[in-house]
Structure 1
Amino acid sequence: MRILVVEDDQALADQMKSSLIDTGYSVDHAADGEDGHFLGDTEPYDAVILDLGLPIMDGTSILKKWRAAGKAMPVLILTARDGWTEKVEGLDAGADDYLTKPFIMEELLARLRALIRRSAGQTSPQLECGPVILDTRNGRVSVSGSAVKLTAQEFKLLSYLMHHEGKVVSRTELTEHIYDQDFDRDSNTIEVFVNRVRKKLDVPLIHTVRGLGYRLEWVEE
């Protein structure tokens, strides 16, 4: 899952980015509204953390522009403790949730997980498909109750597919959502990761759709 953090406080942005990466997300950061708007307008994100008090262009204006352009990614806005009017304006502009500064990082991560789940049509923090369970809260994967150890990139790939169970996902889409902007992306490595995950899960869960990509689906024999 790929997240955009738009925050001008560098120390806070670094803290959020570090926590998000440790949790298994790919993260891009913009330090002002202009760069944040551009990234959100041109890159695919699974969610955005958007500060409202930004230089050059404020967060509410960015959000209005994104929504007017049809950008539907879930957005979590950050507001000052006494900024109740900003909360209302942000929600009316199209935000999905808000968090008041200062905040506890665990709460931000929990709210973000919930936004991503709802955006993908999922309701539980435990994603299940056949015998495979992926727990978004702790990054654990199991098959029929037995733990499966995945690398960071393998986990990102499986997580994205499980959030989009039953849908055909192209290699390009996977590349865009499991790597951040600065990563040297190569869609050819996706096939390598898919094969590794298949071997580690050892169940017929990830299916190749010739010429289109992959579909995660459990079909009982």
Structure 2
Amino acid sequence: MRVLFIEDDHVLGAAIRDHVLAAGHAVDWMQRLDDARLALASVPYELVLLDLNLPDGRGLDLLKQLRAAGNAVPVIITTAQDQVAIRIEGLNSGADDYLVKPFDLAEMGARIAAVARRYGGNPTPEITTAGVTIDLGRRIASIDGAHASLTAREWAVLERLLARRGGIVTKSEIADSLYAFGAEVASNAVEVYVSRLRKKLGRDFVQTIRGLGYQVKA
């Protein structure tokens, strides 16, 4: 999943960025709203983590602009402001969730996963497809009761494919979910991760749609 993280606190920002990266997601960390707007104009993000107080304005103004423009990207607000009125304004402005600082990083990870499931069409954490049972909430994949051990990056690719079960996910979409701005991307990186999923979940789990991309059957 490609995440836009907007936060101007260097220490907290580094901790959150590293935690989201460790979960296998790509993270673009911006510390100003103008930089965030430029990123949003060029990348189809799957989630935004948004602080409310930035050096060049209010995060809520950016959120309102996104929703007014019809951009439905999931947004989780992260802020030290815990007043009820601020929370209500954030949710009424189109936020999907709200985390008050300081918060537990594991809880943040769980909320990110929950929002991603809702928008990906998998509101329940467990699904079965192509003979594989997958618990998205706990990140457990099993075949006939035997667990398959997946790395964070492999989970990121799997979740991207499952978000469009029955549809085609292009190679570039998978790459965008894995790598942030400036990251070096090997030409065969996506093929490598798809190959690993097939080895662990079955040869027919991921179908190659020649010239278009990849597909997990519904």
TM-score by length of 1: 0.88
- Matching of residue 110 in structure 1 with residue 110 in structure 2: yes
Aligned residue for 2:8, secondary structure, equals coil
Amino acid in structure 2 at the alignment position of 1:119: Y
In the TM superposition, residue 29 of structure 1 has moved relative to its aligned partner by: 0.7
Mapping for residues 58-207 of structure 1, pairs under 5 Å: 58-186=58-186, 188-207=188-207
Mapping for residues 202-217 of structure 1, pairs under 5 Å: 202-217=202-217
Distance change in 2, residues 1:157/1:113 (3 Å): same
Amino acid in structure 1 at the alignment position of 2:43: E
In the TM superposition, residue 116 of structure 1 has moved relative to its aligned partner by: 0.5
Aligned residue for 2:70, secondary structure, equals coil
In the TM superposition, residue 179 of structure 1 has moved relative to its aligned partner by: 1.5
In the TM superposition, residue 186 of structure 1 has moved relative to its aligned partner by: 4.7
Aligned equivalent of 1:45: 45
Query: Per-residue displacement from partner, 1:28-85 (whole Å, max 9, x unpaired)?
Result: 2111222122222321222111011111131011112222333221000123344333
Amino acid in structure 2 at the alignment position of 1:129: T
In the TM superposition, residue 109 of structure 1 has moved relative to its aligned partner by: 1.4
Aligned residue for 1:147, secondary structure, equals strand
Aligned 8 A contact 1:175 1:186 in 2: no
CA distance in 2, matches of 1:176, 1:25: 10
In the TM superposition, residue 102 of structure 1 has moved relative to its aligned partner by: 1.9
Aligned 8 A contact 1:171 1:187 in 2: no
Q: How many residues align?
A: 218
TM-score by length of 2: 0.89
Distance change in 2, residues 1:81/1:93 (3 Å): closer
Query: Per-residue displacement from partner, 1:113-150 (whole Å, max 9, x unpaired)?
Result: 11100001112223431322333344333222222233
The gaps in structure 1 that reach 5 residues or longer are: none
The gaps in structure 2 that reach 5 residues or longer are: none
RMSD between superposed Cα atoms in Å: 2.0
Aligned equivalent of 1:57: 57
Aligned residue for 2:53, secondary structure, equals coil
Aligned equivalent of 1:7: 7
